[in-house]
């Protein structure tokens, strides 16, 4: 139903799957969590792993947030 309300370009990016087989055409089962029929491990374990990765780069994120800003004067004007 929602597909009728969004632009065609965006609609083409959305894929709804009715089976694990159709999902596996886009993603290998090795990257999907166990709860979705995959083999990557439990969702909570995957979340914990990714959170640790993000925490390991904490200093980088803080530095990036402080130093890398968008220069709005270079942004093109809307017509």
d(CA 26, CA 29): 9
Number of domains in the chain: 1
With respect to residue 40, please indicate whether it lies within any of the assigned structural domains.
Answer: yes
Tokens at residue 77, please? 């004007």
Domain span at residue 22 reads 8-74
With respect to residue 30, please indicate whether it lies within any of the assigned structural domains.
Answer: yes
pTM: 0.61
- Range in 7-11, 30-34, 45-49 with the lowest mean pLDDT: 7-11
The H or E element that residue 26 is part of is none
Tokens at residue 22, please? 């159709």
Taking only the tens place, the pLDDT of each residue in 37-58 is 999 999 999 999 999 999 999 9
User: To 5 degrees, how large is the angle CA 53–CA 56–CA 57?
Assistant: 95
d(CA 61, CA 68): 10
């Amino acid at each position: 139903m929602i597909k009728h309300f969004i632009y065609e370009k965006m609609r083409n990016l959305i894929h709804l799957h009715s089976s694990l087989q159709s999902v596996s055409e886009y993603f290998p089962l090795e990257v999907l969590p166990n709860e979705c029929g995959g083999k990557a491990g439990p969702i909570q374990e995957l979340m914990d792993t990714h959170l640790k990765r993000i925490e390991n780069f904490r200093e980088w994120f803080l530095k990036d947030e402080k130093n890398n800003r968008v220069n709005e004067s270079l942004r093109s004007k809307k017509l």
